[in-house]
A and B are shown apart, each in its own frame.
Chain A
Amino acid sequence: GAVVSQHPSRVICKSGTSVKIECRSLDFQATTMFWYRQFPKQSLMLMATSNEGSKATYEQGVEKDKFLINHASLTLSTLTVTSAHPEDSSFYICSARVDRAYGYTFGSGTRLTVV
């Protein structure tokens, strides 16, 4: 089945540094990738939608200069959390549409802790 590989699974960084999270579609081409954020015991909140070869579309309230998204190829989308702060600590997870029949598959998620 369709697999999205997400790395790293867990990262601890210092305040003020940047962290890059990668999502790769392994056996299909992901023209669209969705980036979510999930706080403990809460739902998945869509942050942005990335489309291969074009600028990402950010949801209201999400700072595009802080959460940089790049979708340079059909198999790779990246999310960079810039100048991270403790409040950015969360579970970040990507999701890609597998086919036109609406199927989606999720990456394994990245647990970010900013100290």
Chain B
Amino acid sequence: GENVEQHPSTLSVQEGDSAVIKCTYSDSASNYFPWYKQELGKRPQLIIDIRSNVGEKKDQRIAVTLNKTAKHFSLHITETQPEDSAVYFCAASKSQGGKSTFGDGTTLTVKP
């Protein structure tokens, strides 16, 4: 089955700096890669996603890049703010199956 690895497990940055979280996946059939933000005790919230026919997608301060050949994708947050502090999860899924395999999560701390 699919295996998703996420790094780093923890990340601490100063407010205003950029943060990058990386994930690799094993199943070349995966074609949908969402990123979720989860605050303590709350549900994961989709913040951005990318499909395999696209190499990069940007939404304001958040961007995701995908390298299908290398089977890795990354989340980039620019101009970080304290409210960006949360756990971020990447995931991978196939179009037919639908179920997502999640990475282990990255705890991001943005220091004011």
Q: Which residues of A contact B (CB under 8 A)?
A: 32, 34, 41-46, 49, 91, 93, 95, 97, 102-109, 111
Within 8 A of A (CB), among B84-112: 89, 93, 95, 98-105, 107
Q: A46-B102, A103-B46, A108-B43 are in contact. List 5 more A-B contacts (CB 8 A).
A: A34-B99, A45-B102, A93-B43, A104-B34, A106-B44
A65 to B41, CA, bound (A): 28
- Give the A-B pair count, Cβ closer than 8 A: 52
Q: Which of A43, A95, A105, A107 contacts B105 (CB 8 A)?
A: A43
A107 to B44, CA, bound (A): 9
**Chain A: minimal CB distance from B14 (Å):** 23
Q: Which of B45, B51, B89, B93 contacts A44 (CB 8 A)?
A: B89
Within 8 A of A (CB), among B42-67: 42-46, 49, 51
A49 to B46, CA, bound (A): 20
Contact A102/B49 with A44-B44, A49-B98 known, Cβ cut-off 8 Å: yes
Beta-carbon contact of B42 and A109 below 8 Å:
yes
Q: Which of A49, A102, A106 contacts B32 (CB 8 A)?
A: A102
Beta-carbon contact of B41 and A111 below 8 Å:
yes
A95 to B45, CA, bound (A): 11
Determine the residue in chain B with the shortest Cβ distance to A106.
B43
Beta-carbon contact of B98 and A32 below 8 Å:
yes
Contact A97/B43 with A43-B105, A102-B51, A104-B34 known, Cβ cut-off 8 Å: no
Beta-carbon contact of B105 and A42 below 8 Å:
yes
Beta-carbon contact of A97 and B98 below 8 Å:
yes
Determine the residue in chain B with the shortest Cβ distance to A91.
B41
Beta-carbon contact of B100 and A34 below 8 Å:
yes
**Chain A: minimal CB distance from B93 (Å):** 7
Contact A107/B99 with A43-B89, A43-B104, A102-B32 known, Cβ cut-off 8 Å: no
Q: What residues of chain B lie closer than 8 Å to A102, measured between beta carbons? A: 32, 34, 49, 51, 93, 95, 98
Beta-carbon contact of B105 and A49 below 8 Å:
no
**What 3 A-B pairs are tightest by C-beta distance, nearest first?**
A106-B43, A102-B32, A43-B104
